[in-house]
């Protein structure tokens, strides 16, 4: 649904902080895309409210006066039909674009985060202090029927590396840009 290939957004709130975000949501630079975004947001809210209303009308017994016609109408449909429909629409309402980000704070460390696919589920965030970072590198690996680039952080005392952007695995151009930026931020440029 309106997803694009993973693209990178860079934020530099201060000279020592950079946040790289990779997302499949379409970028909102132009007016039509912004309009589309808010339009879709409105649609979602309306769909969510409508679903809640239907569920309320179906469950409330006896029905409150203003909802009586709706309840009567809904009574003709069994739960087997209404339930899955409501569930699907709620799922769509709370669905989120794949978004993964890397926040680098000079002298402090880096934080990787993966937003969950739904607004209801908790997101996965991990902070790695500079003292524990051994290295950050780009390598290739087999995944499915493809060979993909990935950015990985070697953490001291751990047997496995931490893969940045583990689900989206953006292409080489993005990974290289993030790698350069992250190294620059972690290890201050010499002289």
Partner 1 sequence: MTYNIAMVSDFFFPQPGGVESHIYQLSTKLIDRGHKVVIITHAYEGRSGVRYLTNGLKVYHVPFFVIYRETTFPTVFSFFPIFRNIILREQIEIVHGHASLSSLCHEAILHARTMGLRTVFTDHSLFGFADAASILTNKLLKFTLSDVDHVIGVSHTCKENTVLRASLDPLMVSVIPNAVVAENFQPLALQNRAKTHQPISQLDARPPPPPPQRLGPEDTITIVVISRLFYNKGTDLLIAAIPRILAADSHVRFIIAGSGPKAIDLEQMLERRVLQDRVELLGPVRHEEVRDVMVRGHIYLHPSLTEAFGTVIVEAASCGLYVVCTRVGGIPEVLPPHMTTFAKPEEDDLVAATGKAISALRANRIRTEGFHDQVKKMYSWTNVAERTERVYDGITGAISEEEFYGDVSGGGWSATRGRAGVQSFALIDRLKRYYGCGIWAGKLFCLCVIIDYLLFQLLEMVFPRANIDICRNWPKKRRESRDQIDEEWDEAMPLRMARSRASSRRPGKRRF
| Residues binding partner 1 (CB under 8 A) | 5, 139-142, 145-149, 171-173
Q: How far is the CB of 175 from partner 1 (least distance, A)?
A: 9
Longest Cα–Cα distance in the chain: 77
129 vs 171, which CB is nearer to partner 1?
A: 171
77 vs 137, which CB is nearer to partner 1?
A: 137
Q: How far is the CB of 149 from partner 1 (least distance, A)?
A: 6
The Cα angle at residue 91 between residues 26 and 20, in degrees rounded to 5: 35
Q: How far is the CB of 160 from partner 1 (least distance, A)?
A: 13
Alpha carbon of residue 97 to chain centroid:
5
31 vs 145, which CB is nearer to partner 1?
A: 145
Q: How far is the CB of 190 from partner 1 (least distance, A)?
A: 10
128 vs 164, which CB is nearer to partner 1?
A: 164
DSSP 89-147: HHHHHTB---EEEEEEETTTEEEEEE--SBTTSPPEEEEEEGGGEEEEEEEEEEETTEE
């Amino acid at each position: 649904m309106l997803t694009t290939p993973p693209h990178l957004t860079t934020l530099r709130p201060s000279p020592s902080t950079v946040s790289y975000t990779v997302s499949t949501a379409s970028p909102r630079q132009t007016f039509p895309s912004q309009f589309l975004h808010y339009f879709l947001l409105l649609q979602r809210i309306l769909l969510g409210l409508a679903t809640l209303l239907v569920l309320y009308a179906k469950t409330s017994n006896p029905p409150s006066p203003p909802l009586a016609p709706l309840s009567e109408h809904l009574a003709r449909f069994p739960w087997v039909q209404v339930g899955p429909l409501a569930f699907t629409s709620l799922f769509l309402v709370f669905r989120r674009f794949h978004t993964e980000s890397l926040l680098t704070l000079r002298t402090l460390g880096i934080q990787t985060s993966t937003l969950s696919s739904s607004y209801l589920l908790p997101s996965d965030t991990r902070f790695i202090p500079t003292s524990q970072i051994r290295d950050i590198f780009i390598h290739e690996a087999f995944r499915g029927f493809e060979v993909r680039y990935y950015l990985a952080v070697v953490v001291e005392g751990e047997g496995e590396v931490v893969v940045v952007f583990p689900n989206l695995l953006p292409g080489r151009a993005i990974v290289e840009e993030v790698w350069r930026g992250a190294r620059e931020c972690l290890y201050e440029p010499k002289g």
